[in-house]
């Protein structure tokens, strides 16, 4: 249930035309192609991730707000438009005060069409819809990635908050 102070972020949708085709971004869980997500995790484009078991993947997606990026398929089905997933971004969030952006991925053949900027604009819209947002967070190891997120989301390097903020990280290995 959505109220002004507790927004429902789980069924948002945006569409746009891109080179004579239609693209859509949606936060609807039922549209997410689990095979696509695992394929992305297994790819060299997401070196921080690895493919998960079906149960792990389902649990992860059920507990995240995932933005699916889709292209309209050429042949619409009898039941309406058919969409193929071509990208994603995942928020781990409480939907009120905090969100961690991770797993931003777009298929290589769909890059350079402005999809990443559009995806980040949608993410920013969701960050801004959180009624008591204190902080959005992400981790990137690539300098161009940092510049991209600074530009599109307004994020900044935590070292710029020296004396006011310390970011810590840890790695955990299974015994």
| Structure-block tokens of residue 147 | 């510049």
The Cα–Cα gap between 143 and 69 comes to 24
Compute the distance between CA of residue 21 and CA of residue 86 in angstroms, rounded to an integer.
Answer: 13
Cβ atoms of residues 18 and 113 within 8 Å: yes
Instruction: Provide the pLDDT for residue 38.
Output: 98
Domains observed in the chain: 13-161 (3.40.630.30)
User: pTM for the whole thing?
Assistant: 0.88
Q: CB–CB of 113/19 below 8 Å?
A: yes
Coil, strand or helix at 43: coil
What are the pLDDT tens digits along the chain (175 aa)? 567 688 899 999 999 998 888 999 999 999 999 999 999 999 999 999 999 999 999 999 999 999 999 999 876 566 678 999 999 999 999 999 999 999 999 999 999 999 999 999 999 999 999 999 998 999 887 777 888 999 999 888 887 666 677 777 777 876 6
Q: How many CB atoms lie within 10 A of CB 34?
A: 14
Residue 29: exposed, middle, or buried by beta-carbon count in 10 A (0-12, 13-18, 19+)?
Answer: middle
- 160-171: pLDDT as tens digits: 666 677 777 777
Give percent of the chain above pLDDT 70. 91
Dihedral pair phi/psi, residue 135, rounded to 5°: -160, 140
């Amino acid at each position: 249930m959505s109220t002004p102070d507790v927004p429902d972020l789980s069924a948002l949708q945006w569409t746009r035309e891109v080179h004579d085709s239609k693209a859509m971004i949606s936060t609807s869980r039922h549209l997410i192609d689990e095979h696509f997500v695992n394929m992305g995790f297994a790819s060299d484009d997401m070196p921080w991730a690895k493919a998960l078991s079906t149960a792990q993947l389902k649990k992860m997606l059920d507990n995240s707000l995932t933005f699916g990026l889709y292209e309209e398929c050429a042949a619409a089905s009898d039941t309406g438009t058919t969409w193929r997933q071509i990208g994603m971004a995942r928020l781990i969030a409480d939907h009120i005060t905090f969100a961690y952006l991770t797993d931003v991925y777009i298929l290589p053949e769909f890059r350079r069409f402005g999809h990443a900027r559009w995806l980040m604009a949608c993410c920013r819209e969701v960050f801004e819809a959180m009624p008591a947002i204190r902080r959005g967070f992400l981790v990137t190891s690539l300098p161009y990635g940092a510049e991209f997120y600074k530009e599109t989301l307004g994020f900044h390097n935590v070292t710029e908050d020296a004396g006011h903020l310390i970011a810590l990280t840890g790695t955990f290995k299974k015994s």
